[in-house]
A and B are shown apart, each in its own frame.
Chain A
Amino acid sequence: MSARIGVVTFPGSLDDGDAARAVRIAGGDAVGLWHADADLHGVDAVVLPGGFSYGDYLRGGAIARFAPVMETIAAAARGGLPVLGICNGFQILCEAHILPGALIRNQHMHFRARDQRLRIEAVQPVWTNAFNDSQEVVIPIKHGEGRYVADERTLDELEANGQVIARYLGGNPNGAQRDIAAISNAAGNVVGIMPHPEHAVDALTGPSTDGLGFFTSMLKFLAGAPGLAGSGGAGGSGRPAGAASTAPADQGAS
């Protein structure tokens, strides 16, 4: 039995299928979560996928933030539940004030879809332990509102606390302040990333398999940290340590 990773589907989510597939390729069990269902069904971590939740009406993520499932996720995230917000998921986390700052219209007004070079700036225990310090990776981006902004004090804090997880290399695609592509909360269990690691998990369909590292990192973290808060585990029997260690064996299957 492997770790159970929830992938939320909102009305307008696009990448929930790919996110669930990335979880499976990494060796986890993907569990579909529904926006209108406040129950997290005992998952060990959550992925908020990309797309245009609720049509991105008002602002990206502004309405999704109030979905019943998000109220539960916000509380669980404060309790330490690992949460990865990708693209629209990043916007939702910022709108919910689980992550600082905001994502606004790309500076040049154009939608950008391309394979993007990034540098992993923080190797942290939950979401990036599979990477090397300052490792360069290639992960696709596709967004029109991905420009990360925050006030100078917040940006300085993010830098000082090692909460800048990844930066754009080879040209900033959206005008993000300090080339920021991904950040974490202070505790490190919540990460928001504008590029799409779930689209870079398979050599056949992605520019690289670099994105897989986020998912294997989280599974490794869960394997080493049983009894983590969030899912309110009723007993220790359900989560064998080493759940993620079988992951690489499955990789060739697809």
Chain B
Amino acid sequence: MARVVVDVMLKPEILDPQGQAVANALPRLGVNDVTSVRIGRRIEIEFAGEPDLDRAREIADKLLANPVIEDFAVHVDAAGTVKPASDSQESQPAEAPA
């Protein structure tokens, strides 16, 4: 399985009220040295064959991101090839023994 990751972020000049709300909540955690939080979106695309970055870019430009307000970056996720293993790892740290 070939996984391509698309990261979508609001352009720097676009206000991110969601990120601001999170930043404003951090002092409640006792965190006072964060100056900015901005929230984006990570999209994982699985290609049936070889990972196709050009195709992923086209998908991102047309649908996944709105180039009027967002920037995006694509990269092949090497870890994507060992997906089953990483999945089972993630599900392992279950709750404390009952």
Whether B63 lies near A58 (C-beta < 8 A) is yes
* Chain A interface residue count, Cβ-Cβ cutoff 8 angstroms: 21
* Known pairs A94-B68, A150-B68; A106 contacts B17 (CB<8 A): yes
* Chain B interface residue count, Cβ-Cβ cutoff 8 angstroms: 12
For the A-B complex, the count of residue pairs with Cβ-Cβ distances under 8 Å equals: 32
Whether A149 lies near B66 (C-beta < 8 A) is no
Whether B18 lies near A109 (C-beta < 8 A) is yes
At the interface, yes or no: A153 with Cβ under 8 Å from chain B? no
Whether A108 lies near B17 (C-beta < 8 A) is yes
Q: Is the interface of A mostly helix, strand, loop or mixed?
A: loop
Residues 46 to 94 of chain A near chain B (Cβ within 8 Å): 58-59, 62-63, 66, 94
The residues of B that contact A101 with a CB separation of less than 8 Å are 68
At the interface, yes or no: A16 with Cβ under 8 Å from chain B? no
The residues of B that contact A105 with a CB separation of less than 8 Å are 17-18
Cα A109 to Cα B14 with chains together (Å): 14
Cα A147 to Cα B14 with chains together (Å): 11
At the interface, yes or no: B21 with Cβ under 8 Å from chain A? yes
- B16 vs chain A, min Cβ distance (A): 8
Cα A199 to Cα B68 with chains together (Å): 30
- B61 vs chain A, min Cβ distance (A): 12
- B44 vs chain A, min Cβ distance (A): 14
Whether A59 lies near B18 (C-beta < 8 A) is no
Whether B64 lies near A58 (C-beta < 8 A) is yes
- A68 vs chain B, min Cβ distance (A): 15
Whether B66 lies near A102 (C-beta < 8 A) is yes
Cα A34 to Cα B64 with chains together (Å): 24
At the interface, yes or no: B69 with Cβ under 8 Å from chain A? yes
At the interface, yes or no: B1 with Cβ under 8 Å from chain A? no
The residues of A that contact B64 with a CB separation of less than 8 Å are 58
Residues 64 to 79 of chain B near chain A (Cβ within 8 Å): 64, 66, 68-69
The residues of A that contact B10 with a CB separation of less than 8 Å are 104
Residues 44 to 83 of chain B near chain A (Cβ within 8 Å): 63-64, 66, 68-69
At the interface, yes or no: A161 with Cβ under 8 Å from chain B? no
Whether A102 lies near B69 (C-beta < 8 A) is yes
Cα A97 to Cα B63 with chains together (Å): 12
Closest 5 CB pairs of A and B: A102-B68, A102-B69, A109-B17, A107-B17, A105-B17
